Amino acid sequence: MNKIVLPGATLGVLGSGQLGRMFAIAARRMGYRVHTFSPGIDTPTGQVADVEIDADYDDLDAIRTFARGVDVITFEFENVSTAAADAAAEIVPVRPSGHALHITQQRAREKAFLALKGFPVTPFESVASFEELTAAVGRVGLPAILKTASFGYDGKGQHRLTAPEDGEAVWALVGHQPAILERVVEFTMEFSVVAVRGLDGAFAHYGAIENRHRHHILDLSIAPARMPEASAADAIAVTRAIMEELEYVGVLCVEFFLTGDGRILVNEIAPRPHNSGHLTFDACVTSQFEQQVRAICGLPLGATTQLRPAAMANLLGDVWRQGEPRWAAALEVPDVKLHLYGKGRALPGRKMGHLTALADTTDLAVQHVLAARDVLS
Ligand code: AMP
């Protein structure tokens, strides 16, 4: 099933958010057709796709019908069930594979995989009962974070323990369900590596991207990351090794913590293009979305060369609190690019779009992107 999918063919996307939208824009620019599948209509991806299918991910007959209409399938939403990925794979290639999806879509499984293969991770233990949690607190140490075993994205399903007595309350907060207890890392920086692996095993990456979060949601990404080169090189090597272990095809993002002594720890893996890679759209020769198209189609990977230092700021629904944002004012800031995802309702915390600023230095790019965002509301 390793045939090359050439322009003119149809690419299927499971999921219909902003990642699918930017994937579809990259695909259509290269002459592909795009079909999207998700429960809902007029979705961010559906608005730019050729065909939008409104069906449930658990409707395997609908998945099979969808698969018959496309030449290759990818996903932009990792909580698609393995059953759905397998049903699609009976008919067309699914890239990345259902196996990679299975491991990375559940936190406990992902952590176990990383630890088993010897990748650097935060100290953690899986817990399935209150008694196990109490015992794990003794071994992992405090402060710690209890995270639901199933993802939780953007920090949802995470609760901090600072004293042993917190155990009971926190166990109730995760809903008495399987979880992992993780030691809190005193990091000096969070960063990510967005990388791509082709059908022939070729590898390309965008270097280390510095990330700042607010209320557990990505707020700002800066490239290149302002960190020691040796630590960035370690992270790239770890990312490549993870992709090889998974026999991965497509774009993947590994999120890391950098500690005071230059060590790196994997926080989590996203089996798809990632929010921290959005700046590649404007700042790099080939964006992460075009790489996803190239990789899943079996084409050569593109150059990841970064043309200028860049910073990306997310636009959450909160930006609309005082009415329509002042787009024209933001666009007066030099070399700022606006991306909006076509989402109807601007709810607080909802990712509605982002701004990317390009400049001669990363510090200037950060200044410009923040100035542009500040002027919006
Ligand atoms: P996650 O959903 O696991 O990526 O967590 C969201 C954010 O919570 C991370 O980007 C960190 O800012 C913070 N966080 C998660 N795990 C830890 C940890 N073990 N130590 C310190 N901060 C953490």
**Residue 152 pLDDT level (bands cut at 50, 70, 90):** low
Mean pLDDT calculated for residue range 366-376: 98
| 226, amino acid identity | R
* Residue 199 alpha carbon to ligand 1 centre in Å: 32
- Residue 2's pLDDT is 73
pLDDT at position 79 = 83
Tell me: pLDDT of 10 over 80: yes
- Please give the pLDDT value at position 158: 86
Which pLDDT band, with edges at 50, 70 and 90, does 150 fall under? confident
Q: Is the CB of 213 under 6 A from ligand 1?
A: yes
Nearest CA residue ID for atom 9, ligand 1: 216
pTM score: 0.96
pLDDT score at 155: 61
Query: If you take atom 10 of ligand 1, which residue's CA is the nearest one?
Result: 216
pLDDT category, 78, cuts 50, 70, 90?
A: confident
The amino acid that residue 357 corresponds to is A
Q: Could you say which DSSP state residue 300 is in?
A: P
How do residues 189-210 score in pLDDT, each as one tens digit? 999 999 999 999 999 999 999 9
pLDDT of residue 320: 97
Average the pLDDT over 48-55 and give the result: 98
Question: Which of the four CATH numbers 3.40.50.2300, 3.40.640.10, 3.30.200.20, 3.30.1490.20 does domain 123-183 have?
Answer: 3.30.1490.20
The pLDDT of residue 156 is 65
Say how many Å lie between the CA of residue 155 and the centre of ligand 1. 7
Residue 197 phi, psi (nearest 5): -125, 130
Q: Find out whether 151 and 105 touch, Cβ atoms under 8 Å.
A: yes
- 3-class state of residue 165 by DSSP: helix
Q: Is the CB of 139 under 6 A from ligand 1?
A: no
Residue 365: helix, strand or coil by DSSP?
Answer: helix
Given a cut of 70, whether residue 344 has pLDDT beyond it is: yes
Per-residue pLDDT at 11 exceeds 60? yes
Query: In this predicted model, what pLDDT tens digit does every residue of 206-234 receive, in sequence order?
Result: 999 999 999 989 999 999 999 999 999 99
Any ligand 1 atom below 6 A from CB of 141: no
Name the residue among 154, 47, 90, 103 with its Cα closest to residue 271. Answer: 103
Dist. CA 170–CA 188, nearest whole Å: 26
Looking at domain 189-374, which of 3.30.470.20, 3.40.1180.10, 3.40.50.10540, 3.40.50.970 is its CATH number? 3.30.470.20
Fold for 10-94, please state it: Rossmann fold (3.40.50)
**Of the given ranges (56-70, 152-166, 190-204), which has the lowest mean pLDDT?**
152-166
Position 77 scores a pLDDT of 86
Q: What does the pLDDT read at residue 3?
A: 82
Q: Are 255 and 212 in contact (CB under 8 A)?
A: no
Ligand 1, atom 11, residue with closest C-alpha: 216
Residue-wise burial string across 306-336, b where 16 or more C-beta atoms lie within 10 A, e elsewhere? bebbbbbbbbbeebbeeeebeeeebeebebb
Residue 367 has pLDDT above 90, yes or no: yes
Beta bridge partners of 268: 255
State pLDDT tens for residues 264-309: 999 999 999 999 999 999 999 999 999 999 999 999 999 999 999 9
| pLDDT, mean over the chain | 95
Q: Where are the domains of the chain?
A: 10-94, 123-183, 189-374
Confidence of residue 154 (pLDDT cuts 50, 70, 90): low
Instruction: Compute the average pLDDT of residues 21-44.
Output: 98
Q: What is the mean pLDDT of residues 102-118?
A: 95
> Using CA positions, which residue lies closest to atom 1 of ligand 1?
155
- Asked if 312 contacts 338 with a C-beta cutoff of 8 angstroms, the reply is no
3-state helix, strand, coil in the chain (%, to 5): 30, 30, 40
The answer, yes or no, to whether any atom of ligand 1 lies below 6 A from the CB of 48, is no
155 pocket-lining for ligand 1 (C-beta < 6 Å): yes
Confidence check: pLDDT of 106 > 70: yes
